[in-house]
Amino acid sequence: MEQFRLPKIPMPKLELPQAIQDVLLEAEEKLAHRPKLLQLFKNCFPNTLETTTKLMPDGTTFVITGDIPASWLRDSVEQVMHYVPFAKEDRDLQRIISGLIKRHIQYIHIDPYANAFNESANDWHWNKADQTEMSPWVWERKFELDSLCFSMRLAYAYWKETELTDIFDAGFKAAMVKIYELFLTEQHHFEKSPYRFTRNNGIPTDSLRNHGLGMPVNYTGMVWSGFRSSDDACDFHYNIPANMFAVVALRHMQEFAEWVFRDIDFLAQLKALEADIDHGIQLYGIYRHPTFGPIYAYETDGFGNYCLMDDAGTPGLMSIPYLGYVTADDPIYQNTRRFALSKENPFYFEGKVARGIGSPHTPDDYIWHMALSMQGITASTAEEKLEMIAMLEATDADTGFMHEGFHVDDPTIFTRKWFAWSNSLFSQLVYQAMKDGLL
């Protein structure tokens, strides 16, 4: 695990938008019979706004991940996604979310290969000795395919919820073109890509092998990724959940091209790329498991080698319907879900107080709160949703917040006491259960 941390940077506490205050009042009523769960929700639901969000003078919004003073494209989106459904009538919330989208567009123009950025060009980096093409704006330059997809996910959700188009300027269109061109390049990583990354810190999962190029891959139509959503290096560089997410992002971009920018030629290019990636997923990304039947692999190299696992991060196999690639009743997804929640998944752990999915990013026998939240969000039964909420409620170590990983036998042993994404995903599950009348 990474050890280096810059000093904690205090973020100005925002006044909560009225829509968010209204949700907290709603919870006071609906969760009154569950005082601990109510307090957890009251802590976690506004946590992103209260501790990680800064409104910038240029109209953008800077959102740090929590205990690291940098903004991950992926994390910052998931930190605010649970606010999007309340933005239609709340101008303060619109300012926050649209500002984050605009800042993402700025970052994509600075470096579409980077995963995490600074508030300014302050030249802060996770590791100043990284061997890659760094910028003073870039905190870390691990290319993770999902990062760019998250930027499009937030823009799409905001547009659909509010019907506002202020985010769609020439810079947004140019960022879409950058994403499209990068995907095309990384379909042929070894032949065309300028990207290299090594970090000589003694942690193998922090570097790409083969002089920063990564392990060999065969052409599949899918897009190469250096790292996973955990920031760990891929074993085989076609990450299936990330490529599924790329398909969804390209579908969003097609709607932008058709209905906002009226660019029919670009629309056709986006459709062709989506078809290539999706064909690759269906042809190379499905593994015939002897116990579970056809399942989606976590990674492949296109040469017939597979990584069979699931990781607590999003995108992962559990989150496939959450991201919109298939619905939760898809037969292959259901097979995959049963695999991921079994001991066939090397990162599924069971203990005295909890059972669920962890990650190679944390030690064995550590379950992630995010994995439990995602299992609840994607569950098809009320019983499973409520089971996950009860497990989350029982494993906060009486801190009032969610964490990264915690030990299956003792939730007081955990990583990252300030991890806003985990708080947000928990809040999304609890609010969904409240609206469905389950709590």
If you write DSSP's letter for every residue of 120-148 in order, what string do you get? SS----S-TT-BS---TTEEE----HHHH
Among 346, 362, 389, where does a domain finish? 346
Residue 132 in any domain: the answer is: yes
On whether both 291 and 358 belong to a single domain, the answer is: no
Residue 79 in any domain: the answer is: no
Residue 125 in any domain: the answer is: yes
Tally of domains in the chain = 2
On whether both 192 and 334 belong to a single domain, the answer is: yes
Instruction: State whether residue 55 is helix, strand or coil.
Output: strand
Q: Per this entry, what is the length of the chain?
A: 439
On whether both 296 and 395 belong to a single domain, the answer is: no
Instruction: Measure CA 381 to chain center.
Output: 24
Residue 5 in any domain: the answer is: no
E runs forming strands in 26-88: 53-55, 61-63, 71-72
Question: Would the pLDDT of 4 be above 60?
Answer: no
On whether both 229 and 363 belong to a single domain, the answer is: no
pLDDT category of residue 2 using cuts at 50, 70 and 90: very low
Average pLDDT over residues 89-117: 98
Maximum distance among all Cα pairs of the chain, rounded to whole angstroms: 60
Residue 212 in any domain: the answer is: yes
Cis preceding-peptide flag for 294 (omega within 30 of 0): no
Average pLDDT over residues 80-100: 98
Kindly report, residue by residue over 267-294, the tens digit of the pLDDT: 999 999 999 999 999 999 999 999 999 9
On whether both 334 and 356 belong to a single domain, the answer is: no
- CATH number (domain holding residue 302): 1.50.10.10
Element (H, E) at 251: helix 240-255
Q: What is the mean pLDDT of the chain?
A: 96
Strands of the sheet with 238-239, listed across from one edge: 238-239, 299-300, 306-307
Instruction: State whether residue 54 is helix, strand or coil.
Output: strand
Residue 56 in any domain: the answer is: no
Among 346, 372, 399, where does a domain finish? 346
Confidence at residue 273, expressed as pLDDT on a 0 to 100 scale: 98
Distance CA 216, CA 222 (A): 14
Alpha-carbon dihedral of residues 227, 310, 190, 123, nearest 10 degrees?
0
CA distances from 334 to 292, 317, 328, 369, 377 (A): 9, 10, 7, 21, 14
Element (H, E) at 213: none
Question: Would the pLDDT of 86 be above 80?
Answer: yes
- Residue 46 near residue 15 (C-beta atoms within 8 A): no
Which DSSP symbol is given to 206?
A: G
On whether both 25 and 105 belong to a single domain, the answer is: no
Confidence at residue 365, expressed as pLDDT on a 0 to 100 scale: 96
Residue 71 in any domain: the answer is: no
On whether both 130 and 150 belong to a single domain, the answer is: yes
On whether both 238 and 94 belong to a single domain, the answer is: yes
Give the tokens for residue 195.
Answer: 């990207």
Confidence at residue 14, expressed as pLDDT on a 0 to 100 scale: 86
On whether both 252 and 168 belong to a single domain, the answer is: yes
Print the domain residue range for 399.
Answer: 18-51+348-439
Distance CA 88, CA 285 (A): 38
